[in-house]
Amino acid sequence: MGKKGDKMTSESSKAAEELQNRLATLGDIRVKKMFGGYGVFEEDKMFALIDSNGRVFFKVDETNQARFQQAGSEKHARMPYFSVPEGVLGDDDLLEEWARLSIMISKGGK
């Protein structure tokens, strides 16, 4: 998800489709166009976003924020989302692990 007024790019559309497919085993993963990017949802709770450039961000709280920071992730504006490191994006098992925790956070669980 980008900022209001950002233009949708082919990179964001491709990243949304790929992420949805790769995380399909975790539940009913859906993507929704939002502000030039995408929101990524599981059971109507947004746990990830994709900015207009195709960068993937997962929801964080105090249980996983340090993990993202130690991996060199960047915070997405004022929202509680951090960029997913390349090493995680390149590993299906790690991607699912990190996504699973962000899904739990989005549902208010710890």
DSSP 8-28: P-HHHHHHHHHHHHHTGGGS-
- What are φ and ψ of residue 76, in 5° steps? -90, 100
Asked if the model's pLDDT at residue 36 lies above 90, the reply is no
pLDDT-derived band at 5 (thresholds 50, 70, 90) equals low
Tell me which DSSP letter residue 75 carries. Answer: B
Residue range 44-66, pLDDT digits in tens: 999 999 999 999 999 999 999 99
Asked if the model's pLDDT at residue 12 lies above 60, the reply is yes
Please give the share of the chain, as a percent, with pLDDT higher than 90.
84
Is residue 87 within 8 A of residue 49, CB to CB? The reply is: no
- The domains found in the chain, sorted by start residue, are 10-106 (3.30.1460.30)
Is residue 103 within 8 A of residue 64, CB to CB? The reply is: no
How far is CA 53 from its chain centroid?
Answer: 13
Mean pLDDT, the chain, rounded, equals: 92
Report the distance separating Cα 35 and Cα 41, nearest Å.
Answer: 15
The answer to whether the Cα torsion of 49, 43, 30, 91 is positive or negative is: positive
